[in-house]
Structure 1
Amino acid sequence: MKNDNMNLTIEEAYKSMINFLEKYYQRTNSDDIGGLLGDIMLIDEGRTADPASWHDWIESVERMKSENR
Structure 2
Amino acid sequence: MISLDAYRTQWFGNIRGDLLAGLVVALALIPEAIAFSIIAGVDPKVGLYASFSIAVLIAFMGPTAIRASAA
Give the TM interval when normalised to the shorter protein.
0.3 to 0.5
Which of the pair has more CA radius of gyration?
2
If the length of structure 2 is used for normalisation, what is the TM-score? 0.38
If the length of structure 1 is used for normalisation, what is the TM-score? 0.38
